[in-house]
Amino acid sequence: MPKFAEFKRELRKAGCYKISEGGNHEWWFSPITNDKFQVGRHDREEVKKGMEMEIRKKAGVPKKY
């Protein structure tokens, strides 16, 4: 499982960007899907598999194997 810091780098490479910050999450925007989604802001924590898949779907970023 990737850490949030690594995952955010992958999202940025795909063209996604942060639009605002909240208490525990950041709001991001994907130009691929034209949709907003939340990403955890604790960079050292691992992204749980279910959350990773949900974010990837909303962002339009497929998983690299």
| Owner of token pair 């949900």 | 54
pLDDT at site 64:
74
pLDDT at site 63:
85
In CATH, 4-59 is 3.30.920? yes
Taking the C-alpha atoms of residue 26 and residue 7, their distance in angstroms, rounded to an integer, is 13
SS3 5: helix
Q: What is the pLDDT of residues 2-58, one digit of tens each?
A: 899 999 999 999 999 999 998 889 999 999 999 999 999 899 999 999 999 999 999
Displacement of CA 30 from its chain's centroid (Å): 9
Contact 39, 7 (CB under 8 A): yes
